[in-house]
Amino acid sequence: MKKLLATFTMFIILIVNIFTWNLKSTQYKNEFQNLYTYKDSLNQLTNSKYDLNSYLWGGLSLQYFLYKHSDITKNDEANVLWNKLKGNQNLSQEYYYMSLMSSLITISIYGMTSYQEFFAESYTKWTSTNDEAKNKSWELVNYYFLNIYPVLKNTISGYINNDKMMKVIDEDFEKDTSKALIYETNKQTKEMKATDLNYDTDDQVGFSNNKENTRYPYASNALYLAYLSSVNNGNLSFNYGNSYITSSESLKFYYNSINSDDFAKLTVFMNDTYTKASNESITNYNNLISSNEKKFQDFSDMNSYFLEHTSSKTTKKGANIFLEDSINDMANYYSWSDSRKEKFKKQFLDLINATLSITNLYSLNETNKEAFTYNIISIIFSPDTDIVDQSGKNTGVMGYTSMAGNLESSNEDALGVYFSYIVYNGEAFNLDTKNGIDSAKQEYVNNWWSSANIFTTLNHEMGHAVDSFLGENNNIYKSMNSAYNSLINQYPIAEGSKPLYKGKVFGFDGNTYENDFDGNKIIFIVLGVAVGISIIIGVTAVLISKRKTNLKTPK
């Protein structure tokens, strides 16, 4: 074991043949644009044993869980729609229903983009929905993160194994408390109001929203995505980003005789969304962020931990994560009130405490809730109007989560995600400052985002990191734990040949930057994604656009 550990440690310190995957939150202005650019001619990953998406499978597991906890297979209209699909004998009915349920539970057009974005939007829903708006859908997502994710992490982390993943969920479903938690697609009554859920009207809520005058009618896109999901059969590389449809007319190419009656019946699917989450489920979540068992009792405690945990001899700041200085500098830059700054700190504190609670590696006898902190090597906030990537080029994005790992080793224990870090554009946290218009709320009622929270990007990007943690197997984790300090020193914030970020960083040099913030630039902001891969050898980095693949998820 010592020899194996030493091998992994050396492997990580050298960082030879690792990939970096950037999940970026794209800023849009007056028109939604295509989210992806693929370069199919680039095939540098052809010889890789596994596709990198095979290590980012949290979204797939969550979709199977939601499907299992529903009565969708007994819904007459769902079966009618399935039977209207052209050529459905060659399609996967299970993935069709999984997709429908996922779009029903996590209402987010952006979350439809991929399994990875669905996971991040669901994580946002889980960690940023206010208590008053927590409903049956939130309760299901809450149960998954409290009871399913930790078991998956401690039993099959690393490369996706469909059989084992489904077994964990199926066995949990045998419990009385689990079996009783079912989303009823046939429910005929509503308990809450649209306003209770932070919408303005009923016709803004998920499947009830299919207005042709909107950019992307939600119900139509949910049906088209369900069709494509049944074609792709659980392929973790499947991407819906270029497929959004703007009219229900497009569905006639895939469904026979689909009509207005079908869409009217789909609105009934939403009724259980108006069911209030149980008091027990809300209490269970709040215990993560308020009980004495949480990792950090206050923001100061959390700040001190990360200063020591990421202490570095190679950066003048002395650490790779310096939350207090970063947030204070950012608050000054955007002229935040004290109450707004404290609200942001509280949301960050709650987010970290919830995250550390579900990522505890009890299978390794680690009960201190610190395991996930060895996956994160930095959290960066930038005043750059257009934050930059690792090469220093502008990205046009509001934030990204960068992940590093190995896809090329002949040793399967060395394959997977190694670490990640997050870069936030400060403008992402000022969505409600343009003429009193709350852009986050606008995107929520338009069904683009899963949460109306004004700091939603904070939680979304953390969701990507939590997804990546499933792709880090226990052997890699042990090595990361051992080599963490060396890695921190090798990758400083802004200095040296391999800085994590080549732009400005809030709180880095002790000076407040001159404010050139323009609220007009964030009227239309969506959590899009630009995905890239970087093969790093020594200090040389080559950025490669992610290419399309047709690989099916192996079982």
pLDDT in tens, the chain (555 residues): 333 444 444 344 333 334 444 444 332 222 222 222 222 222 223 334 567 889 999 999 999 999 999 999 999 999 999 999 998 889 999 999 999 999 999 999 999 999 999 999 999 999 999 999 999 999 999 999 999 999 999 999 899 999 999 999 999 999 999 999 999 999 999 999 999 999 999 999 999 999 877 789 999 999 999 999 999 999 999 999 889 999 999 999 999 999 999 999 999 999 999 999 999 999 999 999 998 889 999 999 999 999 999 999 999 999 999 999 999 999 999 999 999 999 999 999 999 999 999 999 998 887 778 999 999 999 999 999 888 877 677 777 788 999 888 887 778 888 899 999 999 999 999 988 766 778 889 999 999 999 999 999 999 999 999 999 999 999 999 999 999 999 999 999 988 877 899 999 999 976 555 555 443 333 222 222 222 222 222 222 222 111 222 222 222
- For strand 376-382 and strand 416-425, is the pairing parallel, antiparallel, or unpaired? parallel
Same domain, 286 and 354: no
Number of folded domains that form the chain: 3
Residue 277: closest CA among 366, 471, 146, 385: 146
3-state SS, residue 100: helix
Same domain, 483 and 538: no
Residue 229: closest CA among 382, 124, 111: 111
Three-state secondary structure string covering 21-75: EEEEEEECCCCCCCCCCCCCCCCCCCCCCCCHHHHCCHHHHHHHHHHHCECHHHC
| Residues 112, 312: Cα–Cα separation, whole Å | 39
Run of H or E including 19: strand 18-26
3-state SS, residue 419: strand
Same domain, 65 and 106: yes
For residue 3, being part of any structural domain is answered with no
Domain boundary residue among 270, 290, 310? 290
For residue 42, being part of any structural domain is answered with no
What pLDDT is attached to residue 513? 55
* b/e sequence 245-277, b meaning 16+ C-beta within 10 Å: beebebbeebbeebeeebbebbbbbbbbbbbbb
Strand order across the 532-537 sheet: 376-382, 416-425, 397-406, 18-26, 532-537, 540-545
Three-state secondary structure string covering 350-411: HHHHHHHHHCCCHHHCCCCCCHHHHCEEEEEEECCCCCECCCCCECCEEEEEEEEEECCCCC
Same domain, 532 and 446: no
| Residues 198, 182: Cα–Cα separation, whole Å | 23
What pLDDT is attached to residue 44? 29
Residue 252: closest CA among 88, 93, 139, 86: 86
For residue 146, being part of any structural domain is answered with yes
For residue 402, being part of any structural domain is answered with yes
Sequential DSSP letters for 255-310? BSS--HHHHHHHGGGGGGGGSBPPHHHHHHHHHHHHSTTSS-SSHHHHHHHHHHHT
Q: 380 lies in which domain range?
A: 295-514
What pLDDT is attached to residue 385? 84
Same domain, 230 and 301: no
Same domain, 147 and 267: yes
What pLDDT is attached to residue 49? 54
| Residues 208, 217: Cα–Cα separation, whole Å | 10
Count of C-beta atoms within a 10 Å radius of residue 297: 11
Amino acid letter at 264? A
Same domain, 242 and 267: yes
Same domain, 319 and 376: yes
Residue 405, beta-bridge partner list:
19, 417
| Residues 53, 232: Cα–Cα separation, whole Å | 14
For residue 26, being part of any structural domain is answered with no
| C-alpha distance from residue 196 to each of 126, 193, 445, 486 (Å) | 16, 5, 13, 49
| Residues 243, 389: Cα–Cα separation, whole Å | 26
Q: pTM (2 decimals)?
A: 0.87
For residue 40, being part of any structural domain is answered with no
For residue 38, being part of any structural domain is answered with no
| C-alpha distance from residue 175 to each of 166, 171, 179, 180, 243 (Å) | 15, 8, 6, 9, 39
Ranges assigned E (strand) in 383-531: 397-406, 416-425
| C-alpha distance from residue 452 to each of 73, 401, 442, 495, 510 (Å) | 31, 21, 8, 37, 33
Q: Which residue has 């934030």 as its token pair?
A: 399
Same domain, 316 and 230: no
| Residues 390, 503: Cα–Cα separation, whole Å | 9
Six-digit token pair at 287? 């215990």
Same domain, 286 and 304: no
What pLDDT is attached to residue 322? 97
Whether residue 314 contacts residue 495, with contact meaning beta carbons closer than 8 Å, is answered with yes
Residue 474: closest CA among 357, 554, 365: 365
Length of the chain equals 555
**Rounded to 5 degrees, what are φ and ψ at 79?**
-70, -35
Same domain, 171 and 316: no
For residue 392, being part of any structural domain is answered with yes
Domain boundary residue among 290, 318, 337? 290
Same domain, 242 and 347: no
3-state SS, residue 146: helix
Amino acid letter at 480? M
**Rounded to 5 degrees, what are φ and ψ at 347?**
-65, -40
Q: Which residue has 């700041």 as its token pair?
A: 317
Please, which contacts does 433-440 make with residues 24 or more away whose CB atoms are closer than 8 Å? 433/334, 433/519, 434/519, 434/520, 434/522, 434/523, 435/519, 437/523, 439/522, 439/523, 439/524, 439/525
What pLDDT is attached to residue 147? 98
